[in-house]
Structure 1
């Protein structure tokens, strides 16, 4: 009895599978006869199996060709989807934000300020060390800027003296470096005389204490912290109408104890307002006793809204937001900072903020810094630092014209009269080189509309199908299939009930 039941169940299951398969074949024939896809109807209407197999082979080949070509279009869409176009080469320069100009005195340690410091500060000397050791160590203070580890003994002695007197590297630099007001004689902004302490601010940078024009004083400029927007400066001046003019005192070679340069002069850096001077800045040496004119050539980059909607991996740039300003150089600086901390367990002496577990690098870290610094300059920004270029921003190149400062004899005016009172002084003028600049925009070459159009053309070429064909396929193999299966199930139920009724009536 049980064997008969099992056989009956097995036969019933086989019957149901056959019904489903037959229903699928019937739905496929209906789909093939009514579909808009070219050639598919012949797989159902052909009289012989050979003809049906031939048309099925043709359809499969066409489908493979369409899929391969569609993949090629998609890869081209992904790889070469953006371009940078020149929107205008007549973009007004007065619409460009004025960059920050940083002046760093060549002397890192001034002899005059060193003598003043030794008179003012009574230093406690550790056992076996003297003022001479302090002075010898200060002579090699350049190592904190450019670490080479050439004078380990002298710097170790200096660090012992600093530790004994609770003096940091930054504090010692502040005491021994030339002050902005000690260097700057006169400043002019937009053609008007201005107090230099209103135009410039002194900041600790990677080159020591420098004087910054148009600096953003509110932000720490670290990528991990919020950098807020502040008001930018703009200028109508260009050519011989200078944005900024600075008159600097004569360079005194005898005042040099330690320096960031090998010759007399000033290090000048031009960079974005929301960044600090560093490797990404435009820099040059301002020759002493020269009058130098710096022409700014600007190029502003914008990004289309379509590009900004893409993922960062696709657009290959990172935008700023209302809450935070992104700059590539800040990201790079943060990456270098983290790498130095991982290797040397300290952060740059000029870092303005520290985490609770961090310390500033001092002279005992010079050996480690000398090893790690070359590696930090060879970082691959995208793969190692996850740093991307700015989506929007202004880039500058500069043109420099300089000659011996003899114009005081030919040009009247308060600026040049002041220069006459200080022979061998140095002058710097900064202005826009031209009245116009370049405006560029990063935009999509192929939008999704182009991609859909290309895919539509490919599938139409090889299969003759359209967007409606997708709905045809869904309609037949979902709605019609379910409907036919339900219909057969209902008929089978009626037949079974009828047989049972007849059997009961017979019994």
Structure 2
């Protein structure tokens, strides 16, 4: 009786439901049942295939490129000026090293060429690298000290500077910094507003930077290395400029940014890295360091740390900072490198060096526990301290591995920010500038000088926003349409099925468990009649 009640309810549902023609199962004709079965299998195959296509498309993260509306805002114009670096050639640095250390041997004559080949990642003789290390060790200097202390200041390399036809002091624009290419005089775009704040706010279609450079060592004329790059740009190589030439540099760029208002982070989490300071070059250099067993001494200032963790938003930063105060209380002092950013905990004294070790010991563990890193600390933390600095012999291994990129295997994700530059450098000899009326050339000595005019064509540059077209909501909507089209599972059918499961089927089960008095009475009558007989 129980199975009869439940089976009757199930048969009644399949007979009257609109769900994909299940009512044909109860047809008296076998042709209807076979036809329904064939159609059901075909529809299920089509639905499965289309669902697989939709899922594969979802994993590809399709997106729409839209031109940014902020193409003439002050922020856009400010970012359109690249970072410019003027570097003396390695031969000039090596000559300064040999001169200041009073090294005059026949073997040391190859040091300038050795240093140049070393920094560019070219193959270098092992004995020359060992000789360079011996010279540095004998005079108790490092390659970093050679680059920074044995070279001239930026005023010796940058003579005249002009931005948008306005003369500016080069000393306020360029700073002496250690880069991957050695010592360079670096000019960043954020220094231009400090010189003339109202200039960048004007919507200029072309940004013009003019420089007069001189890279000489005594009476020896060297060319300068010129580098222009944007944050996040990959595999930047310096251009060699020769003395006595005028260079016209035409630059335009294309940038693809993520739309911050979209929830694309959940879709492309494993496809790219969202850190603004991350680049694939940094990841490849780290892989080369691990393979060679030492770190590059010429790039520690430009390495973003903890790139495997994203920057903390405000909600997660509270987790990070809360444990920071507890750690300070445990150590009994506060970090001296963070007092500029914190207005609290002034009752604790500044940590001496011995107590600072206690304070910094759990820094990385705290970030791992919170799942993100502090966005205000990445500039003040030394990276890869577990690896020693590379001597010249090991630096050749490091630069060669990175230059060839075939001996190092590592899973380096690309940056979510894509930027491509198009630079055209046109040289021409400076011969007839005696009669030039431009004050940039007034009294200029042509022989050791290099004139560079860099024109950033903002009007022809493009900034695109990447708007993902697939989200979990669109995926569910597409899958719902597939089920409705091929399997007949619509909203009404789903409600009907839920009504059957939650209402009709429990009622049928409950009724089947009840005792039917009519059936009991009939059984009692039949039993009595048999006894009478």
Alignment of structure 1 residues 410-449 onto 2, 5 Å? 410-419=435-444, 421=445, 423-446=447-470
Assess, with a 3 A threshold, how the Cα gap between structure 1 residues 313 and 410 changes in structure 2: closer, same or farther.
same
Asked whether the equivalents of residues 102 and 268 of structure 1 are also in contact (C-alpha less than 8 Å), the reply is: yes
State the Cα distance separating 1:452 from its structure 2 match: 4.8
Indicate which of 413, 418, 421 corresponds to 1:396.
Answer: 421
Asked whether the equivalents of residues 318 and 326 of structure 1 are also in contact (C-alpha less than 8 Å), the reply is: no
1:76 matched to which residue of 2?
57
Q: Does 1:213 align with 2:187?
A: yes
State the Cα distance separating 1:41 from its structure 2 match: 1.4
Q: Does 1:369 align with 2:402?
A: no
Assess, with a 3 A threshold, how the Cα gap between structure 1 residues 83 and 414 changes in structure 2: closer, same or farther.
same
Q: Does 1:269 align with 2:224?
A: no
2:366 matched to which residue of 1?
none
Length-normalised TM-score, structure 2: 0.69
- State the aligned residue count: 435
Distance 1:151 1:477 in 2: 81
CA deviation profile, 1:407-451 (whole Å, cap 9, x unmatched)? 6334324321142x4545211122223535323232234555654
Asked whether the equivalents of residues 109 and 178 of structure 1 are also in contact (C-alpha less than 8 Å), the reply is: no
Asked whether the equivalents of residues 101 and 213 of structure 1 are also in contact (C-alpha less than 8 Å), the reply is: yes
Distance 2:463 2:289 in 1: 39
Assess, with a 3 A threshold, how the Cα gap between structure 1 residues 465 and 110 changes in structure 2: closer, same or farther.
closer
Asked whether the equivalents of residues 291 and 426 of structure 1 are also in contact (C-alpha less than 8 Å), the reply is: yes
Q: Does 1:159 align with 2:114?
A: no
Structure 1 unmatched runs, 5+:
1-17, 124-129, 218-230, 257-263
Asked whether the equivalents of residues 108 and 178 of structure 1 are also in contact (C-alpha less than 8 Å), the reply is: no
Q: Does 1:113 align with 2:69?
A: no
State the Cα distance separating 1:194 from its structure 2 match: 2.2
Assess, with a 3 A threshold, how the Cα gap between structure 1 residues 181 and 157 changes in structure 2: closer, same or farther.
same
Asked whether the equivalents of residues 268 and 286 of structure 1 are also in contact (C-alpha less than 8 Å), the reply is: yes
Indicate which of 16, 24, 41 corresponds to 1:42.
Answer: 24
Assess, with a 3 A threshold, how the Cα gap between structure 1 residues 204 and 370 changes in structure 2: closer, same or farther.
closer
Alignment of structure 1 residues 89-108 onto 2, 5 Å? 91-92=71-72, 95-96=76-77, 97=79, 98-108=81-91
1:287 matched to which residue of 2?
242
Structure 2 unmatched runs, 5+:
192-196, 301-381, 528-533
State the Cα distance separating 1:466 from its structure 2 match: 0.9
State the Cα distance separating 1:362 from its structure 2 match: 0.9
Matched residue of 1:67: which SS? helix
Q: Does 1:405 align with 2:370?
A: no
Q: Does 1:333 align with 2:282?
A: yes
Assess, with a 3 A threshold, how the Cα gap between structure 1 residues 28 and 49 changes in structure 2: closer, same or farther.
farther
Alignment of structure 1 residues 85-484 onto 2, 5 Å? 85-86=66-67, 91-92=71-72, 95-96=76-77, 97=79, 98-110=81-93, 113-114=96-97, 117-118=100-101, 137=111, 140-148=114-122, 150-214=124-188, 234=200, 236=202, 243-249=208-214, 251=216, 255=220, 264-273=222-231, 280-281=235-236, 283-304=238-259, 305-306=261-262, 308-313=264-269, 316-320=271-275, 325-328=276-279, 331-337=280-286, 339-352=287-300, 353-366=382-395, 368-369=397-398, 372-376=401-405, 384-391=410-417, 394-406=419-431, 408-419=433-444, 421=445, 423-446=447-470, 451-452=475-476, 454-484=478-508
Larger radius of gyration: 1
Assess, with a 3 A threshold, how the Cα gap between structure 1 residues 63 and 116 changes in structure 2: closer, same or farther.
closer
Distance 2:392 2:472 in 1: 57
Distance 1:292 1:118 in 2: 35
**How large is the Cα RMSD of the aligned pairs?**
4.1
Asked whether the equivalents of residues 113 and 178 of structure 1 are also in contact (C-alpha less than 8 Å), the reply is: no
CA deviation profile, 1:305-346 (whole Å, cap 9, x unmatched)? 4462432257x44334xxxx3432xx4313322x23322211
Asked whether the equivalents of residues 103 and 268 of structure 1 are also in contact (C-alpha less than 8 Å), the reply is: yes
Assess, with a 3 A threshold, how the Cα gap between structure 1 residues 312 and 362 changes in structure 2: closer, same or farther.
same
Assess, with a 3 A threshold, how the Cα gap between structure 1 residues 362 and 292 changes in structure 2: closer, same or farther.
same
Greater shift, 27-36 or 300-309, is seen at 300-309
Assess, with a 3 A threshold, how the Cα gap between structure 1 residues 317 and 494 changes in structure 2: closer, same or farther.
farther
Distance 1:51 1:164 in 2: 97
Matched residue of 2:251: which SS? strand
Assess, with a 3 A threshold, how the Cα gap between structure 1 residues 424 and 236 changes in structure 2: closer, same or farther.
farther
Distance 2:89 2:141 in 1: 23
Distance 2:72 2:203 in 1: 11
